[in-house]
Chain A
Amino acid sequence: MANTTQNKTLSTMSVFTRLYRNLSKIFKSQADELVIPINIKTDLCHAQASRREKLYTDRALPDSLLQAFTEKPLVTGDMRFIGRDEQSTRLLSAIEMWQSGQTSMLAVTGPQGCGISSFLQQIPQHISDQQGWHYSELTRRPTDNEDCLAQLSNIVGSEQPIASVAELIDYINTLPPGIFAIDNGHYLASRIMGSNQAIRTFGAVMVATQQRHLWILGCQEFAWRRLAYLYNADRYFTELIGLTLFSEDELKQCLSSRLQVSGILLNSDTSNEQTESPSVLGQLFSTLYKLSNGKPDIAFFYLLGSMNFNAEDKLWDIQPVEQLDFNQLKQLVHEELFTLAEISAHGQLSIDDHQSIFRSSHEESWLLLERLYHQCLLDKTTNDNVTTYHLVPLYSDVITRFLNNANYLY
């Protein structure tokens, strides 16, 4: 009798122990599971370009490493370009169909920083006729019909801007058949009054010349959605190739290939078969994936920030990864969130653009954009005396997800 009671008590205890273990597993935070420690940094400005440079200089990171981990698009044939096999196959079959005489227009879309430019620049290595390949990128938003014609004339290689749509179409149709890849198509999506006509002209020229040429438009995801909602862009494009952020394996491959290019040996990146535990580098890559959500540029930042060269041992140390804290997004007010949403959808906004969209004064727009810039949520560039603001590339994924969740971006 006593034994039975004892057994019952033990069995109840084991049930509770199992329950406790399972609950612990469920509620265990990501950070606890990782061997690589994470420090939380509250300051988003820590990842600003100038501060990053200083950080890397302080850590004495060699130029070869910094060049290997550049955030710039990869040129044709760069060995650091990895993955995208399925998308490449779809793109090549679409090109083959066009070569066999079928009219088509392609769009390559994806979140900012997923590698649309790099993907487009890899196309030439897969096509036989290099002469017919034309890659160009929009540097600014076409403001009106005339500006649109001028930009298109430049893209198709006309020395002088062509004055009318009909003339431009005639000109393009006299060119030898070729593939025109246009990057930064997200500059076309616009709420700015007057740019409607420019977008229609852009589309009309592409549609009217698709019989002879293959147009490939690279465009960020939310801008593409907007083009589809407003202008039914998805109906005109025969193939839509969507890129996503890297999976964990792809990110590991990406980081490994870049480490390899930098000359850092990967001998430590092997799993210990006896203990079946992953190597420190493997764990670091897993941590980086969890922190970056598969976005390469922010993973590079975390990786470089955690690497430290020990001059005495001549070995690389891995320091705790310094995670950025995005809680300040929750402090933003309506107008700031709407501004970020429009910048995210448009790719970039100048002060005049902001003024036009939000019907504010020049000073108000300037003040708001500068405030976001000083909070390190925006970066700015100045070309021809026009300052444009865009999301800090490293944070774009976090910001767009936040805006999407808060119903400012859709």
Chain B
Amino acid sequence: MQQDTIAQLIELLSLSRLLQAGMVIIFAWLLLRILHIGLQQLIQRWPRYRLQMGQMYPMLRIFIWLLATAYIIFGVIKPPQTIVFAVLGSLGLAVGLAAQGGVRNLLAGVMMIFNPPFRVGDMVHFGGYYGEVTQLDLSVTWLRTLDDNVIMVPNSAVLENAVANANSGELSEMVVINIDLPRTIDIQSTRLLAREVAMASPYSYLKKPVSVTVESRYEYDFLLRLIIKVYVVDIRLERLLSSDITERFIEALQKQDTKSVD
């Protein structure tokens, strides 16, 4: 019985069928390359919508590979049911035992396709790392951190940990800048100054509100913490905005001090 199945399998995997299957795979790969290049062109033409367009590719990729696989199995190889069940059973057992973690990641990847907690281009805290999602694969997600490191995070981290998404598909995101000051400063004027500084940065997104709040804290001495919340025009400029506002604010404070001394 087992020998029959193997013989049937060998018969099914004839050279012509393998060639046909190879052609289908090459065609699917080419189609995906064309789609990828086309989407990149569209993104270059309409950068404002890069996140929306970027999220289409992972879905298209899975869809096309699923179609190609289904076509190869049911359109090219056309195996009898007994072989399908035998192969599926053996494969399922082998894969299940050998790659428990991998299957888990794969399942998480499928879940992420249908219920995405983030998209390509989003800034996320995920698997202990913070960065921009650059690629979504079935089993892993690729992040580019603010230090320009590329991190591969297994998708199962989505099932096990919380995911924080800073921009949720938008190009702008809130940036929080904390500045500690001595308690003796004039709170009212400093708060107004911080607000003006935040609005003056060319990277701040003025369409959304700028807020400055103050809280008291103790670190060897009583301090006032100024919390500037401002949206950045593009998530990739997050650090630039943060540094720009801090620099401006310190400079403005120094100027103010110089004036008051004069």
Binding site for B on A (CB under 8 A): 191-193, 196, 225-226, 229-230, 338, 341-342, 356-359, 404-408, 410
The answer to whether B47 and A230 have CB atoms under 8 Å apart is: no
Q: Which residues of B contact A405 (CB under 8 A)?
A: 45-48
Write the B35-50 contact mask toward A (1 if CB under 8 angstroms, else 0).
0000000000111100
In the bound complex, how far is the Cα of B206 from the Cα of A225, in angstroms?
9
The number of residues on chain B lying at the interface, defined by a beta carbon within 8 Å of a beta carbon of chain A, is 21
Tell me if B200 is interfacial: C-beta within 8 Å of chain A. Answer: yes
6 interchain pairs, CB-CB under 8 A: A193-B200, A193-B252, A338-B203, A404-B48, A405-B47, A408-B233
The answer to whether A359 and B248 have CB atoms under 8 Å apart is: yes
The answer to whether A193 and B206 have CB atoms under 8 Å apart is: no
In the bound complex, how far is the Cα of B199 from the Cα of A191, in angstroms?
7
In the bound complex, how far is the Cα of B199 from the Cα of A356, in angstroms?
13
Of B47, B200, B233, B252, which is within 8 A of A192 by CB?
B200
The answer to whether B196 and A193 have CB atoms under 8 Å apart is: yes
**A64: min CB distance to chain B, Å:** 43
Q: Which residues of B contact A408 (CB under 8 A)?
A: 233
The answer to whether A407 and B248 have CB atoms under 8 Å apart is: no
- A-B pairs with beta carbons under 8 A, tally: 46
**B101: min CB distance to chain A, Å:** 39
Tell me if B197 is interfacial: C-beta within 8 Å of chain A. Answer: yes
The answer to whether A407 and B196 have CB atoms under 8 Å apart is: no
Closest to B171 in A: A407
A342-B202, A357-B202 known; A193 and B48 CB under 8 Å? no
**A221: min CB distance to chain B, Å:** 14
**A333: min CB distance to chain B, Å:** 14
The answer to whether A193 and B248 have CB atoms under 8 Å apart is: yes
Closest to B209 in A: A229
A193-B200, A357-B200 known; A230 and B206 CB under 8 Å? yes
Describe A's contact surface by its main secondary structure: helix
In the bound complex, how far is the Cα of B152 from the Cα of A241, in angstroms?
53
Q: Which residues of A contact B48 (CB under 8 A)?
A: 404-407
Enumerate the 5 nearest inter-chain pairs by beta-carbon distance, A residue then B residue, closest first. A407-B48, A229-B206, A406-B47, A191-B200, A193-B200
**B123: min CB distance to chain A, Å:** 15
Of A229, A338, A356, A407, which is within 8 A of B47 by CB?
A407
Tell me if B130 is interfacial: C-beta within 8 Å of chain A. Answer: no
Q: Which residues of A contact B252 (CB under 8 A)?
A: 193
**B244: min CB distance to chain A, Å:** 7
Q: Which residues of A contact B45 (CB under 8 A)?
A: 405
Identify which of residues 196-238 in chain B touch chain A, using a CB-to-CB cut-off of 8 Å: 196-197, 199-203, 205-207, 233-234
Tell me if B180 is interfacial: C-beta within 8 Å of chain A. Answer: no
Q: Which residues of B contact A342 (CB under 8 A)?
A: 202
In the bound complex, how far is the Cα of B244 from the Cα of A341, in angstroms?
18
Apart from A196-B199, A357-B202, A404-B48, what are 8 other A-B pairs with CB-CB below 8 Å?
Answer: A191-B200, A191-B202, A193-B252, A229-B207, A359-B244, A359-B247, A405-B45, A410-B206
